[in-house]
């Protein structure tokens, strides 16, 4: 049935999915690749992206990349990601994504801005691979804590989670990317 829906309807349907609690595991040799335009709408997805997410290419192209965003991801991670790539820099980040059927999968994402030969931003490229179990043992409780800070009903939840990330990085004497890659 989902294949017969327009992309916009498919995205709204996805937003209402329940969670299965089942994790899908990316194979160590697999790389998920996607490309977006400058607004973050998907222009390319590889077969591995489609296989793990459960979507078809037709459902994904033209959709915002956030269609696979899992609600258990802290907003501060995406703020940091977007601030970094919009400033012209690459970023590595751990991300949990949501599959079409409500399953989820973790990745270590590497996101870079893409430019024309004239230096104009035209989109973003993301390669994602399987995360190490040791890294997830650190990231999952951290993200749970950040998400709790964001959801405490305060208007400044994003600011509170941002402060928690800054304090963590200061205690480690690292920048975000160093911390992610050290796990």
Block means of pLDDT (10 residues each) for the chain, 183 residues, are: 34 57 95 96 98 97 94 94 94 96 97 96 97 97 96 83 96 95 96
Domains of the chain (ranges; CATH) run 2-182 (3.30.450.20)
What is the pLDDT at residue 152?
87
- Give the predicted TM-score (pTM) of the model: 0.86
Residue 111 tokens read as: 């996101």
CA distance linking residue 74 with residue 58, whole number of Å: 28
Predicted pLDDT at 88 = 94
Helix boundaries (H) for the chain: 7-15, 47-53, 57-60, 75-86, 133-150, 157-172, 176-182
Between vectors from CA 85 to CA 83 and to CA 87, what angle results, nearest 5°? Answer: 70
Q: What DSSP character marks residue 66?
A: G
| pLDDT value for 19 | 84
The four Cα atoms 89, 91, 144, 133 give a dihedral, to 10 degrees, of -170
Q: What is the pLDDT of residue 13?
A: 43
CA distance 61 to 78: 21
Among candidates 74, 76, 72, which has minimal Cα distance to 159? 76
Rounded Cα distance between 46 and 61, Å, is: 11
Q: How many CA atoms lie within 13 A of 68 on its CB side?
A: 26
Confidence (pLDDT) at 156: 85
The residue count for the chain: 183
Q: What is the pLDDT of residue 63?
A: 97
């Amino acid at each position: 049935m989902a294949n017969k829906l327009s992309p916009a309807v498919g995205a709204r349907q996805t937003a209402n999915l329940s969670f299965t609690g089942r994790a899908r595991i990316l194979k160590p040799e697999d790389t998920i690749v996607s490309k977006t335009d400058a607004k973050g709408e998907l222009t390319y997805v590889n077969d591995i992206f489609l296989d793990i997410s459960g979507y078809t290419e037709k459902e994904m192209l033209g959709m915002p990349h956030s269609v696979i965003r899992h609600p258990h991801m802290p907003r501060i991670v995406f703020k940091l990601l977007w601030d970094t790539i919009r400033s012209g820099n690459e970023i590595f980040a751990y991300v949990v994504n949501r599959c079409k059927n409500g399953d989820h999968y973790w990745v270590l994402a590497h996101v870079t801005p893409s430019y024309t030969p004239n230096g104009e931003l035209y989109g973003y490229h993301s390669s994602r691979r399987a995360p190490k179990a040791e890294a997830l043992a650190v990231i999952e409780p951290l993200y749970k804590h950040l998400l709790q800070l964001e959801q405490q009903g305060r208007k400044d939840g994003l600011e509170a989670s941002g402060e928690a990330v800054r304090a963590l990085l200061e205690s480690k004497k690292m920048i975000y990317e160093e911390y992610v890659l050290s796990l």
